[in-house]
Amino acid sequence: MLETIIVLPPLALFAMWIMEAALLYNTKQILNYAGFCAARAAAVYGVDATAERQRAAALALASISPRVPEAEADLISSKFDLPSTLTDHLPIPFGSGLSTEEIRERFLDAYARTIVSTPVLSGENGSSLLTVTLTYYTKCRILPVGRFLNTHIGDLLAKLAGLEGTQYLEQLKRENQHGYMIPVRTSVTLDNWEAGP
């Protein structure tokens, strides 16, 4: 009996760390895909197409993002100057059981939590490469991993300036304060397709 009392808490903590690591690995894999989508949008629409890069990344990340509060969805949408047509025609995954409104709220959260860098062009010998860096501020679901990583969310708070006092921003600040928010980053490099003469 005493052995169980001594061994069970560390074993349970170890199991929770493994589950959290698996969820973070899943987040990283989806972020890699979102980075590819953002880099492809930059290659297709041009390096100045900020809205297209952000939208492409947010669409990929909507599957792992929580929902924004329903009452504040329109406020967040107007903060980022998203036209209603942008969020009204989001694709609904087959068999997901999600309503259009739920997908819109997840998309808005992914849009708010994601920072897409300005593409960097490089290359030599006539080739042109395009690199895009993405940062997604994810919420840890089991353990407060952010407490051990000393994370800063200054970039995210700067992006969300103007939403002070909203329930959504207060929720993000609480996640960070309690150590449940961590930034996950990726960089993706693609060939830069340029229109021919």
**How sure is the predictor about 162, in pLDDT bands with cuts at 50, 70 and 90?**
confident
**How sure is the predictor about 196, in pLDDT bands with cuts at 50, 70 and 90?**
very low
pTM, to two decimals = 0.83
Does the structure show a pLDDT above 80 at 96?
no
Nearest-5° Cα angle at 175, 173 to 177: 65
In this structure, are residues 50 and 83 in contact, taking their beta carbons and an 8 Å threshold? Answer: no
Nearest to 118 by CA among 194, 193, 38: 38
Query: What is the torsional sign of CA 141, 143, 144, 148?
Result: negative
Where does residue 152 rank: exposed (0-12), middle (13-18), buried (19+ CB within 10 A)? exposed
- Per-residue CA distances from 83 to 37, 74, 78, 111, 193 (Å): 20, 10, 8, 13, 28
The pair of three-digit structure tokens given for residue 144, joined into one six-digit string: 């407060």
Residue % of the chain over a pLDDT of 70: 87
**How sure is the predictor about 194, in pLDDT bands with cuts at 50, 70 and 90?**
low
Q: What are phi and psi of 120, to 5 degrees?
A: -110, 125
What is the average pLDDT across 71-94? 73
What is the average pLDDT across 36-42? 91
